[in-house]
Structures are given as C-alpha cells and as structure tokens.
Structure 1
Amino acid sequence: MNDPAFARTRENGTEFSSIAGSGKLLRSALGPMLFKAKDSKMTSRLVGVMGQLKNMDTVSARGLRNVAEGLNNPLAASVLEGFDFNARATYSSILNASATVDEVTGKISIGDFNPTRQLRGADGATHFSLQAGFLRIDFATGSFELMQSPEQVFPISNDVVSTSLTPSSAPTLAGTGMHVILIEFFQEINGVQYMLNNGAYNVLHLLKVS
C-alpha cells in the first residue's frame, strides 16, 4: 500500500474510484427517468465517459483528477452531450425530429414530425410519451436536483406532432445543468394505456449540458 514502486497503481485506483462514484451519482440523480430507459452496459459506458471528463482536469495532481474539475474544461460539454442511456434505442434511431433547449427554463421544443413516418416504435405500441428533465448536479459536493415536465402522450398516427416540454420549474441548486428527454411507448387496449414491459425502444437522451 505504501511501496513507491506502486505509486502509479494507487493513483490510478483512486481516480477510478472517483469516476465510478461520479457515474453512480449521475445515475442516482436521473433515477426517476433512468429506470425507464437503460441498457445492461449503461453503467460501464457511463464510467467511460466520466473517465474522459476526469482526464480533462488540468489542475489537480495525478491521482486526484476528478469529474468536477474536468467539467470546467470548455470541451467537457461535448463529451456528455448526445449520451444515450439506452444504447438499444438512441434518440436519432427512434425519432427523426430536431429538438432545441431553453437553458434557462429547461423547456425542450420539438419541431413538427409525423409519428407514423418519423418515429420507430416498439411492436404493438399505439401511443408514445415525451418528457423533459432539467438536472442540476454538483459532482464536488454530491448534491443534485431534478425537475421534470408533465408527461405528454400522443397516438402513433399520421397527425403531425409539435410540442414543448417545460419542467415545473428550474432547479435552484448550483452546479452543472443537464437537459434530457425521455421517450416511452405504450399500448392502448379498451381506452387504457399499458406500458410495454421490455422498454427496449424507450429513449433517455442527454440533449444539452449548460
């Protein structure tokens, strides 16, 4: 544990523990949305992203580099933006429609699209839902606050959809802002909507980091 020959090993171990903790913190922060759209390798993929962010820490000594400092790098946002928590259902593979984010309110606006032609839904799905999440997270302190928009449900039809998803309020916590969109699929039987059990086509996509 103290042999100078293994200093690098100890430093690497400390940093790996740090990035694993940061990944766990983000998973916990997005928990209410994440459990609906994730894949079996999501944890390891997220640790890989956290490792890239840790490497962007240019101020801490080796062995002490961390995600919180790495996020101060101007290029850090580009590492996180576009991350799909369910690799089986990426945003671009499920919905062919552009989305924009208001970084102040967290409102996500989606341009006109035809669900029948521009949405790849699960077999048997008759409806889909859209929901926005606005997260503030502080990787240094471990604190976070997630605000969600009301869920909007639409039929999978030829009727054009254009919508805005606005969280109930913006998080008041200081920290890194993250804007995510959740897409879920349902089947309606006799007027009742049932969530499809496997969730293979459900999307949770990180649109913007602010």
Structure 2
Amino acid sequence: MDHQINLLKMIGKLNGLSFLHTKHGDFFRKKGGASKTQIKTNPAFARTREINKEFGEISRAGKWIRTSLRHITGTESDDLVVSRLVKQLALVIKTDTTNLHGDRKVGFGLLTADGKAHLQGFNFNINSELRNVLKCNYHVDIASGVVSIPDFVTQNQLHYPVTATHCSIESAWSEIDFVSGQFNYSISPAVSLAKDLTKQSIVLTPAQPPTGNGILLVVLKVSFLREVKGRFYAVKNGAVNAMELVTIF
C-alpha cells in the first residue's frame, strides 16, 4: 500500500482511491479486487461463493445463540464475544459431513460429538471463565433442564474477587431450530449466597423444562456482589461475572 507523506489529512474515498489513517501513519490505496458480479457468476470464484455462503450460515447461527440467551447474558459478555463465537462455529460447521462444501450447516455439525465439543465450554466472558471461578462439580439434567450443585461451600469452592461479599448463581436453557431460527428458552430463579463456610445443595430449576424441539443449550452463570449498608452492588459492574455453555444436546 502506498504511503501518504504530505500534510493533507484525508479519510475515505476519492477518485478511486481509499484513504486510511492508522497508528502506523496515513495510507492510500487504489480500488482493486473482483467485482460483486464476478464473484457471483465467475466459475473461478466458486470456492469464494462457498466460503461466503457458509460464513452467512455461521453468522446467523451465532446471532440465534446470542439472542436466545440474551435474557441471562446481561453484562457477562466481553467485547469480543461475537467474533469468538463465530470462530468456534466455524469449527462446528466443518463437522457437518452430510452436506457438501458451501451448503454445510451449523445445526448438522452440532448433531455430531465433534461439533458439540467445539462449542461446549464456550465462555461468554473470556476475562472470567467459569472453570477459574467455580471449583466444584455440578450436574445437568437434560430432561428437566435442572442444574444441581451438591454440598456447595461458597468460601471454599468459589474464587471470589477481593471486594465481593456474596454471589448469585443461575442457569438457563435454550432450544434452537438451526433451520428456521425459532427458539424456546427458560431461566432458573437466581440463588444468592453469602461468602461463608455453610454447606448447602443448590438446585437451579428453570421455569419450564425443555420441549425436546431443537438443539438444547444449557448455560451456568455466576455473578459477584458486594453488600454495602444492606444494599447489593455488582462487583466491577459485572465485569468479573462468569457464564459458560455447559451442555449441548
């Protein structure tokens, strides 16, 4: 790319030239590459068309997943969650051995063990992964959507941020039809616990069980709170909260 060294600062396009400002300086380049018509019709771009078609499928699937869980994600998603999810779904779609290149589907990939493995364990907040926060075993019942944590001791089995005095734990499921984009979801009531040595069994029961229609996704979420004069505040505005996709069925 040519480098602009004159004093005139420009950003945008002019007479077939694109002007860019980067941390490395100001640059311009001539318009190039294939036209949209060439990409759509030229046999030489057949592979490009396949890639573009599958990228559209991946993007739609990612949006459906995020939308179906938007009622629980809240501030638990980091700034790169969209691109990170797309990256994993790009691996999932490659596990579809039913359809040919260009027509592969995320939904078909998620029917395979390898496809599930690429997405299960996905953390919506890369800065606070559930495995680094929750130090205990839990069980997911596929039929009911219930998540249970037996003999749970918050002070010993949670990695608390320094200022946190309490935690809140909840779960949710969504079932997605990856053909139509239709989905169902349900969220459990949150269980709030103080940071102490009390042993108790946690049962997170969603408002309704899964219907059995579509691919089932179950997430588990841990939020941290600070009590000040009887009122509770999210620690760091939720930036330390964790939420993971723990089960796919």
Q: Tell me the TM-score range normalised by the shorter chain.
A: over 0.9
Q: Which residue of 1 aligns with 2:192?
A: 153
Deviation digits for residues 30-69 of structure 1 (CA, Å, limit 9, x no counterpart): 1011223111211111101111111111121211111012
1:97-137 CA distances to partner (integer Å, 9 max, x unpaired)?
11111100011011223322221122311110010102111
Which residue of 2 is the match for residue 202 of structure 1?
Answer: 241
Paired residue secondary structure (2:126) = coil
Give the Cα separation in 1 of the matches to 2:123 and 2:151: 22
Q: The residue matched to 1:205 in structure 2 has which SS?
A: strand
- Match among 62, 67, 92 for residue 106 of structure 2: 67
Q: Is the 8 A contact 1:125 1:185 kept in 2?
A: yes
Residue 184 of structure 1 corresponds to 223
Aligned pairs for 1:1-210 within 5 A: 1-172=40-211, 174-210=213-249
In 2: Cα distance, 1:95 partner to 1:141 partner: 35
Instruction: Give the share of equivalent positions with the same residue, in percent.
Output: 33
**In 1, Cα distance between equivalents of 2:173 and 2:132:** 23
- Tell me, in whole angstroms, the C-alpha distance in 1 between the residues paired with 2:52 and 2:74: 29
The count of aligned residue pairs is 210
Unpaired runs of at least 5, structure 2? 1-39
Give the aligned CA root-mean-square deviation in angstroms: 1.4
1:111-167 CA-to-partner distances (Å, cap 9, x unmatched) read: 223322221122311110010102111111101111011111000112224211110
Q: Which TM-score applies when normalising by structure 2?
A: 0.80
Asked whether the equivalents of residues 22 and 67 of structure 1 are also in contact (C-alpha less than 8 Å), the reply is yes
Higher relative contact order (CA 8 A, sep 6+): 1
Q: For 1:51, give the aligned amino acid.
A: A
Q: Based on CA coordinates, which of the two structures has the bigger radius of gyration?
A: 2
Could you tell me the TM-score, scaled by structure 1's length?
Answer: 0.94
**Superposed structure 1 runs of 4+ greater than 4 Å apart:** none
| SS state at 1:184 partner | strand
Structure 1 unaligned residues grouped into runs of 5+: none
SS for the counterpart of 2:88 is helix
Query: Contact conserved, 2:92 with 2:114, CA < 8 A, in 1?
Result: no
Q: Distance in 2 between matches of 1:72 and 1:90?
A: 25
Moved more, 57-66 or 127-136: 57-66
Q: Is 1:122–1:200's contact at 8 Å kept on the other side of the alignment?
A: no
Cα distance between partner residues in 1 of 2:122 and 2:96: 20
The question of whether the paired residues in 1 share the 8 Å contact of 2:170 and 2:189 is answered with yes
| Equivalent residues of 1:121, 1:185 under 8 A apart | yes
Which residue pairs with 2:23 in the alignment?
Answer: none
What amino acid sits opposite 2:234 in the alignment?
M
